[in-house]
Amino acid sequence: MRRISLALVTAVALTAVAAAHAAPLTAAQIAAKNVAARGGLEAWRKTETMIWVGQLQSARAPVPNMPFVLEQKRPNKTRFEINGAGQRTMRVFDGVRGWKVQARREGGPDVKPYTTPELKFASAAQAIDGPLIDYQARGGVVTLEGTEMIEGRKAYHLDVTTAAGERQEVWVDAQSFLDIRLDRPSYAGTGGAAMVPVYYRNYKPFEGLQIPTTVEIGGGTGTEPDRMQIERVVINAPLDDRTFERPGERRRNPSVMNSLPNRATPRRVIPGLTVTPPQAAASADANAAADAIPTATTP
> What is the DSSP secondary-structure string of 26-85?
PHHHHHHHHHHHTT-HHHHHT--EEEEEEEEE-TTSSSS-EEEEEEEETTTEEEEEEEET
CA 296 remoteness from chain centre: 4
Strand 267-270 vs strand 193-206: parallel, antiparallel, or unpaired?
A: unpaired
Assign 164 a pLDDT band (cuts: 50, 70, 90).
confident
Using a pLDDT cut of 90, give the percent of the chain over it. 49
Least confident segment among 131-135, 205-209, 215-219, 252-256 = 252-256
Task: Reduce the DSSP state of residue 8 to 3 states and report it.
Answer: helix
- Within 10 Å of residue 45's Cβ, how many Cβ atoms? 13
Mean pLDDT value of segment 174-189: 87
Query: Which class in CATH covers the domain with range 29-295?
Result: mainly beta
Assign 64 a pLDDT band (cuts: 50, 70, 90).
confident
Using a pLDDT cut of 70, give the percent of the chain over it. 68
More confident residue, 65 or 73: 73
Is the pLDDT assigned to residue 258 strictly greater than 80? Answer: no
Least confident segment among 48-57, 94-103, 246-255 = 246-255
- Predicted model pTM: 0.78
The pLDDT assigned to 11 comes to: 57
> In the chain, what are the domain boundaries?
29-295
The pLDDT assigned to 66 comes to: 87
Bridge partners of 84, per DSSP, are 87
